[in-house]
A and B are shown apart, each in its own frame.
Chain A
Amino acid sequence: MLEAKGVTKAFGSLVAVNNVSLAVAPGELRAIIGPNGAGKTTFFNMITGFFPPTAGEIVVEGRDITRFTAQQRVALGMARTFQITEIFPELTARENVRIAVEVASGYRLRPWLSRTARTRVRERIEEIIASTGLTKQADRRVGELSHGDQRAAEIAMALALKPRILLLDEPTAGMGEQETYHIASLIRRLHKHSGYTIVLIEHDMRVVFNLADRITVLDQGSLLAEGTPTEIADNPAVQAAYLGSAQ
């Protein structure tokens, strides 16, 4: 579904990501973890088209998308959220989702919509609002919502794009116990019930080990290990990277 082959990124002489490869299968939930500065976000940014890699290629369903723009990637079915929530703060949750639905339906240049198109857009908005648990907050400005609900709104916008791959950059970053639980169960629902292919970066290890099918561990820009949660938990190299090696 999604494949990275020998992806490398150098900023001047600093090699942030060094020759990382991974392959995500359809319907899989893949977590990317690693200590601070491991290059997770840099790697993620190359997959989502924020900037191009220095070397290597990124392939989605057999197509080389290494040089695709953000817009082309969205058209291919890749939707992302950001570590720091990126939403339209002055608009309500429903309006946020509405913009995403209209763009995804190819209406972005339309000066008006037919009655049937309007109905279809409205139904789709309600469906997404309900599936992300935002019904009660739908008419409040998202700038005023709790951190967890803002994140849910951002995920709702990503879902509106009908993605085939959902890319989440630290979805529970900076959240309390309850909000983390709320977002983690939303991601689980999307994965188990709706069958989305999801790639996420995450710091909260309980979230990672509860949700992920497979885990990729980066350390100092390189691939350290890959495997199921149990394999990763037992891997001595991963333990060393996280706890500090006692050489």
Chain B
Amino acid sequence: MSTTTADTVFERPGQRSWLPTVAIWVVLLTVPLWLPWIGGYTALAGRVLVLGLAAMALNFLLGFTGVMSFGHAAYFGLGCYGTGLTLKYLSDSTPLALVAGILLGGIAGTLFGALIVRRRGVYFAMVTIAFGQICYYVAYRWNSLTGGDDGLRGFQRQPLHIGPWLIDIQNNPVLFYYFIAAVFAICIGVMAFLLRSPFGRTLLAIRENERRARFLGIPVERHIWLSFSISCFFAAAAGALYALLNNFADPMTLHYTLSGEIVIMAVMGGMRAFWGPLVGAAVFVVLQDYISSMTVNWMSFIGLLFVLVVLFFPRGLLGFVRAYSEK
């Protein structure tokens, strides 16, 4: 049988599509139990989830709508700064800061998207890079607000107050990991839900054949815009979590190198598979952590791996595993 993305979007009879989902969630929820035993630390797992969410958000656009953005760091970084600035200047509520970051990045993406949806291919990718670099230089130059090159410091994620309970995500890294996992679950749950809907299928139609989609009566530009906006909101959510994870907002989170890294994660993991980008992010983040402790040239090793994956597993790591398991 052929493997396609369609199995996450169409329920095909006889396919055990719940199996990878259950397996991945078992791994994610037990991370704090086993990760220290193999030499990891909980914040590393948090990074995997955060960047995995960013890559899955990008893949909503790239893998499931067929549109390439090379500037998703912009919305990630805006989410990061939105959350940091809210905590520093406006409020000591972590959920409020999270929402503020998501809104800042998401709305920026929605407005910018409306201007560019008529562009296609390379031109679309180029303008998304340009917008990201504008955001980067604003953060870089606006010292008084953003801390410029040094980044935004002087804020901390605050414990959660839920009714009579206090959940200390500030000092307990394991609790904070579960907080990230909860936000992650909501975000990807919404994305999966949308992809399985009639709306999600129109996106797949656009990816598969834009001309046919148009002559079925789908307003292609409007649907690409919606997909881009949704993708930006979830990229911003990832950025907001990143600010909470580090208690710091770095202008490099807006830079196109991060955009490129997010694309690498999505492609390496498998952009035709729903979970592919998370796998890509896990490989990327763990290798980065491990190799960068030995050499500053860690990127050349990841670059080499990326080239090998693209050459030998064009459907990405997860795509390869799936094709193999279906044989």
Query: Is the CB of A126 closer than 8 A to any CB of chain B?
Result: no
Tell whether, in the assembled complex, residue A99 and residue B4 are in contact, meaning their CB atoms are under 8 Å apart: no
Query: Is the CB of B208 closer than 8 A to any CB of chain A?
Result: yes
A113 to B211, CA, bound (A): 26
Query: Is the CB of A132 closer than 8 A to any CB of chain B?
Result: no
Give the residue name and chain of the B residue nearest to A84 (CB): B211
Which bucket holds chain A's interface residue count? 35 or more
Contact among A71, A89, A99, A157 for B219, CB-based, below 8 A: A71
Tell whether, in the assembled complex, residue B217 and residue A102 are in contact, meaning their CB atoms are under 8 Å apart: no
Q: Is the interface of B mostly helix, strand, loop or mixed?
A: helix
Contact among A74, A91, A113 for B10, CB-based, below 8 A: A91
Query: Is the CB of A128 closer than 8 A to any CB of chain B?
Result: no
A110 to B196, CA, bound (A): 10
A92 to B15, CA, bound (A): 15
User: Which residues on A sit within 8 Å (CB–CB) of B211?
Assistant: 82, 86
A88 to B6, CA, bound (A): 11
Tell whether, in the assembled complex, residue A74 and residue B217 are in contact, meaning their CB atoms are under 8 Å apart: yes
- Give the interface segment out of B89-97, B105-113, B198-206, B319-327: B198-206
Query: Is the CB of A87 closer than 8 A to any CB of chain B?
Result: yes
Tell whether, in the assembled complex, residue A157 and residue B216 are in contact, meaning their CB atoms are under 8 Å apart: yes
Query: Is the CB of A161 closer than 8 A to any CB of chain B?
Result: yes
Query: Is the CB of B37 closer than 8 A to any CB of chain A?
Result: no
Contact with A along B184-211 (1 / 0, CB 8 A): 0000000001100111011011001101
User: Which residues on A sit within 8 Å (CB–CB) of B204?
Assistant: 88, 91, 99
Smallest CB separation, B244 vs chain A (Å): 28
User: Which residues on A sit within 8 Å (CB–CB) of B120?
Assistant: none
Contact among A48, A95, A161 for B6, CB-based, below 8 A: A95
Tell whether, in the assembled complex, residue A80 and residue B215 are in contact, meaning their CB atoms are under 8 Å apart: yes
Give the residue name and chain of the B residue nearest to A109 (CB): B199
User: Which residues on A sit within 8 Å (CB–CB) of B119?
Assistant: none
With A70-B215, A71-B217, A74-B217 given, is the CB distance from A90 to B199 under 8 Å? no
Interface residues of A in 105-162 (CB under 8 A from B): 107-113, 139, 141, 144, 154, 157, 161
- Given A110-B197, A157-B212, 12 more A-B residue pairs with CB atoms under 8 Å apart are A70-B215, A74-B215, A82-B211, A88-B212, A91-B6, A91-B10, A95-B6, A95-B10, A103-B216, A103-B217, A113-B197, A113-B198
